[in-house]
Amino acid sequence: MMLKHYCVAILLMTCCTCSKKTTTTGSPPVVNDSTFTNPILSSGPDPWVIQMDTNYYYTNTFGNRVAIYKTGRMSQLNKATPVTVWSPPATGPYSKEIWAPEIHFLQNKWYIYFAADDGNNANHRIYVLENDGADPQSSNWVLKGKVNDPADKWAIDASVFDYNAQSYLIWSGWEGDVDGRQDIYIAKLSNPWTISGNRVMISTPTYTWEKNGAPSVNEGPEVIKNKNGKIFLVYSASGCWTDDYSLGLLTLKDGGDPLNPADWSKSANPVFVKNPANGAFGPGHPGFFTSRDGKEDWIVYHANSFTGQGCADNRNPRMQKFRWNVDGSPNFGEPVKINSPIKKPGGE
């Protein structure tokens, strides 16, 4: 995403920036208590959601701050009010272009990972906020600082997962100091804000469908586990400024080492692509959650409602239920139609 969409947020210049825009997705039809319609918000690039007890905490790129929505029902997200939990200083290395925040609960504390720079995209790095309070919407957030990758290269779209009692950080970055391609990297974490060892590249744009728009892009990595604990990494491919932005899939072999690129296999075809008839262009940057009744798996993602809208705030969040294939891999189907009734998640 190199020119990463947003001017941010969970959150600006051609491709590489985004200017605030609004989008019209049409008037949603009247729905009953058992249904909702996509999009779930009128704007919201890079959506992310985490569950804690009976609450969902949602964020997306806002560009100039980090804000959190709190709701007991994801289908009613548009009724919640976002609370700003952190605002950057006026100047400095993390003062501008705040992109793709993610909320995680690690070691009994809340953490938010986000990318930011000083107004120069080439200086994007990953930063971490910490909150030891019970409610992530509280004002207890403290900046722990930059995640120090020894390579110290451009980095965005950080996420965290645990595997075999070890925490790992995954992100999208440049191999060098010039924007020529975005790859997916991984490294061990010794604590939520400290990398242990060197980064390892586990995915680079290889297939034609990953190379729409220049430069080629792999970004927005997110790990999802099936009921048996098998690891899949879902990522976004091609330029976010194209209608062909889509989702790809990496699979970690059983018993594999996440730091060994040879233990990851890439699906030859994208697993989630545009659907013009349904008002879904450039679907990507997913998050995942479980329904209130614990019986359904859902994906939340952003897409544009019309062709050619690029990496701006026209991107709006949608959600839909997905299933699992016989081999244990996720099956996201196709983007569902906007402004059409969808059955709410179980328990809502």
Residues 123-150 pLDDT 10s: 999 999 999 999 999 989 999 999 989 9
Contacts of 92 (CB under 8 A, 6+ apart): 118
Active-site annotation holder among 130, 183, 219, 244:
219
The pLDDT assigned to 7 comes to 35
pLDDT, average across residues 73-79: 98
Give the model confidence (pLDDT) of 25-43 as tens digits. 455 555 468 999 999 999 9
Phi and psi at residue 274, to the nearest 5°: -60, 155
pLDDT, average across residues 323-340: 98
Active-site annotation holder among 46, 97, 117, 297:
46
Give the model confidence (pLDDT) of 78-99 as tens digits. 999 999 999 999 999 999 999 9
Residue type for 265, please? Answer: S
Q: Does residue 46 have an active-site annotation?
A: yes
Instruction: Give the position of tokens 């790992």.
Output: 168
Q: Cα separation of 250 and 331, whole Å? A: 13
Give the model confidence (pLDDT) of 288-331 as tens digits. 999 999 999 999 999 999 999 999 999 999 999 999 999 999 99
- Cβ atoms of 308 and 302 within 8 Å: the answer is no
Give the model confidence (pLDDT) of 171-204 as tens digits. 999 999 999 999 999 999 999 999 999 999 999 9
At CA 103, angle to CA 287 and CA 264, rounded to 5?
Answer: 50
Q: Give which of 284, 302, 282 is closest to 60, Cα–Cα.
A: 302
The pLDDT assigned to 17 comes to 36
- Other beta carbons within 10 Å of 138: 14
Q: Cα separation of 92 and 90, whole Å? A: 7
Q: Which helix (H) or strand (E) holds 71?
A: strand 66-71
